[in-house]
Amino acid sequence: MSQSASSNVNGRKNSSAAVECIPSATNAAAAAAYKEHQTLCINRNSVGDGSNASSAPNVGAMREWWRTRSLNAPSPFQQFGPCGRIMKNQAMVMQIQDPASQRLTWYKPPLTVLVIKKVRDSTVLAPFVQLVEWLVQEKHMVVWVESAVLDDPLLIEDKKFKNIKEKLVTFKDGRDDLTDRIDFIVCLGGDGTLLYASLLFQQSVPPVMAFHLGSLGFLTPFEFENFQEQVTNVLEGHAALTLRSRLRCVIYRKNDRRKESESDSTNQITKNAYNYQADGSDGTNKSGSRGSTNILVLNEVVIDRGPSPYLSNIDLFLDGKYITSVQGDGLIVSTPTGSTAYAVAAGASMIHPSVPAIMVTPICPHSLSFRPIVVPAGVELKISISPDSRNTSWVSFDGRNRQELLHGDCLRVTTSIYPVPSICAQDQISDWFDSLAECLHWNVRKKQKCLDELSDLTASGSEDTLDDLDRVNDTLLDSGLQ
């Protein structure tokens, strides 16, 4: 690591980015409707029969409040009728907001940027050198890159890169901790670069700007041609954000009985009120027990039968309640972001990344009625090998860290409190539907031709022409049968 560059960033906190919530026009209407609703309740209690017509809520305001531009519903009234209401829960940790109001803001200028490039791809080298040179010389930023990137023979021979190589800060995956050192991430490549960025940051993730230089590019909405203008806009805080939720996956081994019993006794506390150390950044749980895994995934965690010829037999629990046994090739537990990855190939629905949910999709189930399901994001799933299963299972996290799940082991999965803030090229809605159309060719087919003779008949204005056409068709059909 370059000492001169590292001295500027060591000890800095990753606190320069935040999500700015811009209130929409519907919030004022909602507040007005709620105020009138409270007035109605007060008048109803004071008068007794609530027949005072002047205290009725504004119907127009109520209708306006019900309307929303968001994929998520607006916050409902907490009171239902004159007596019913939701019980207050101080341990509630999830709050749904309008995705259209999520925009990036910097409350201090970003100084450090991590550039992640696609490996073993010569077409990315020129854009990588161009971007790094511009960030160092024009924007005067401290640029971090993985040390393995500098070992590329083609990059070593590049004359332009030699001039800026000494100004870069390097790190090694698995050895150096990037927590609180990076303000901004730029990915050059395909969707795998964004997954790698998620893997590097197992707690708070800096804003990620992904350029499409790979194969599919479903998660990489930016084109590289005018990168200077686009990066400048982001650095100035002019960007929308999509908060892509991640799954916290913890494996508890059979021999770790103490940890398992502690987890069962504190399950509700852990689920409803995570502390800072809940999502471990070192890939192991905090007890330090050997063989355990604590990791965050952006797409999915997959449990499959591995090399065994037998069916997987997996028990599925939801918040401690037994749900079903999965008999088939395996099970996919995915985020909404991962719904367009492995899950969609297994028959699951595609869910917008702003929807708070967890998807459970069987892989080739030995049952015609086993359909994929969607559960709330706040629940905890427990997955274990059935006691009468003929074989063990294997588990992988975003296609990495593949390991065996033995009898008596269990995997617990729930939504993490650390999402990946993905910067949008346009906005949350347009980016997603553009990716569906361009990458997956969603609902692409040749349009059905219109019936010219039917169009002529309907355009003529005759009321009997359609009946006449039916009679002609019936006559032709009868003659054909004879």
Reported as a single tens digit per residue, the pLDDT across 150-187 is 888 888 888 888 888 889 999 998 888 898 899 999 99
Q: Write the CATH number for 223.
A: 3.40.50.10330
Q: Is the same domain home to 49 and 131?
A: no
Q: Is residue 43 part of a domain?
A: yes
For residue 246 the two structure tokens come to 């991640």
Q: Is residue 376 part of a domain?
A: yes
Q: Angle formed by the axes of helices 125-137 and 227-235, to 10°?
A: 50
Confidence grade of residue 252 (pLDDT, cut at 50, 70, 90): very high
Q: Is the same domain home to 238 and 251?
A: no
Q: Is residue 89 part of a domain?
A: no
Q: Is the same domain home to 266 and 392?
A: yes
Which of 67, 82, 97 terminates a domain? The answer is: 82
Q: Is the same domain home to 240 and 331?
A: no
Q: Is the same domain home to 279 and 159?
A: no
Q: Is the same domain home to 65 and 128?
A: no
Separation CA 270–CA 256 (nearest Å) = 18
pLDDT the model gives residue 363 = 97
For residue 105 the two structure tokens come to 């803001």
- List residues bridging with 82 in a β-sheet: none
Q: Residue 46 in 3-state DSSP? A: helix
Q: Judge whether residue 2 has pLDDT over 80.
A: no
Confidence grade of residue 83 (pLDDT, cut at 50, 70, 90): low
Q: Is the same domain home to 71 and 114?
A: no
Total domain count, the chain: 4
The set of catalytic residues is 191
Separation CA 406–CA 410 (nearest Å) = 8
Confidence grade of residue 18 (pLDDT, cut at 50, 70, 90): low
Q: Is the same domain home to 142 and 235?
A: yes
Q: Is residue 187 part of a domain?
A: yes
Separation CA 342–CA 297 (nearest Å) = 13
Q: Is residue 100 part of a domain?
A: no
Q: Is the same domain home to 305 and 407?
A: yes
Q: What is the pLDDT of residues 316-371, one digit of tens each?
A: 999 999 999 999 999 999 999 999 999 999 999 999 999 999 999 999 999 999 99
Q: How many residues does the chain have?
A: 482
pLDDT the model gives residue 319 = 94
Q: Is residue 349 part of a domain?
A: yes
Q: Is the same domain home to 332 and 379?
A: yes
Higher pLDDT, 87 or 119: 119
Q: Is residue 433 part of a domain?
A: no
Range of the domain at 194: 3-14+108-244
Which of 82, 100, 129 terminates a domain? The answer is: 82
Q: Write the CATH number for 361.
A: 2.60.200.30
Q: Judge whether residue 463 has pLDDT over 60.
A: no
Q: Is residue 260 part of a domain?
A: yes
**The dihedral sign for the CA sequence 157, 158, 160, 166:** negative
Q: Is the same domain home to 67 and 113?
A: no
Q: Is the same domain home to 292 and 368?
A: yes
Which of 197, 220, 244 terminates a domain? The answer is: 244
Residue 435 neighbours by CB under 8 Å, 6+ apart: 217, 218, 219, 221, 340
